[in-house]
Amino acid sequence: LNKASICCFSLLLASLSPVQVNAKWSWTDVCWAGVAGGLTIAVAPAALTAMGFTAAGVAAGSVAAATQSAVYGGYVASGSAFALAQSAGAAGIGVKGAAGLFSAAAAGTFYARNDEE
């Protein structure tokens, strides 16, 4: 297991702590949350590339280029969502990015499944 896997699994287990007294969950919910988190990490690099965040920079004519032009006017602030997406597109999502994506997808799936009842 690598650091990202251990971190993501730890965050998933931590999210199962009894925040709500009446929270209901099953192992099926946990499995779906894990699948959603894993798929999100697997798909993220391809999604970033498809949007135009590449290793060579923002691809001309892409969604990323249109967003950069329309929203940022050519100036992108350090630490902004656009800058983070470009960094991830160029260098990969990294351990922190993978943990964040996994956690968000897993938690969203977990709570969406429990909200149906």
- Mean pLDDT for back-to-back runs of 10 residues, the chain (117 residues): 64 57 66 84 90 93 92 85 90 83 81 67
Q: At what angle do helices 3-15 and 27-51 cross, to 10 degrees?
A: 130
According to the model, what pLDDT value does residue 59 have? 94
The pTM assigned to this predicted structure is 0.68
According to the model, what pLDDT value does residue 54 have? 93
54: nearest Cα among 95, 106, 90 = 90
